[in-house]
Amino acid sequence: MKDSCCQNSRQDQKKGFWSGLLYGLVPHTFCIAFIVLSVIGATTATVFLRRLLILPYFFEILIVLSLVFATLSAVFYLKRLGFLSFTGIKKKWRYLAILYGTTIVINLLFFMVIFPKLANFNSIKSQPKVLSQKMMALPVTLSVDIPCPGHATLIIRRT
């Protein structure tokens, strides 16, 4: 039987997992590279900008700033596709959920893991093994406004 001229000449075959993964990731290569390079760049910058880390509300400012840039990115994306409306937002809710979700997850990763690790990177490794009885008998309570555990070493080094 002769094939119709309107029929697709390619056979309908299942391409497989790796082919689907490749076709799914290739269009998003630059987005993935941007996220990875942002994490690397921000981590490297914290080594040079340690004094900024002790500013009050520094992390909150960073989180708000990243959400503002995510919103700008979403507005440009939706406008380019012609979906800059409430209906368009409803249609692209998955994209927006992934955009804001990854922004929040990366900020939490910075705040809870990367910044404290980098702040303690060059801290004194050797701690006294045995404290004298006098030191153990003296309770000390300090009231400080430190936003995360990573700031402790920054403050100790300044005194």
Please state the domain extents for the chain.
18-125+137-158
Q: In this prediction, what percent of the chain has a pLDDT beyond 70?
A: 62
Higher pLDDT, 49 or 98: 98
Full DSSP string of 2-49: PPPTTS-SS------HHHHHHHHHGGGHHHHHHHHHHHHHHHHHHHH-
pLDDT at 157: 46
Angle, helices 58-81/93-109, rounded to nearest 10 degrees: 160
- What gap in Å lies between CA 138 and CA 48, rounded to an integer? 37
For 38-97, how does the pLDDT look when each residue is reduced to its tens digit (9 = 90+)?
878 877 776 777 677 667 777 788 889 889 999 999 999 999 999 999 999 999 999 999
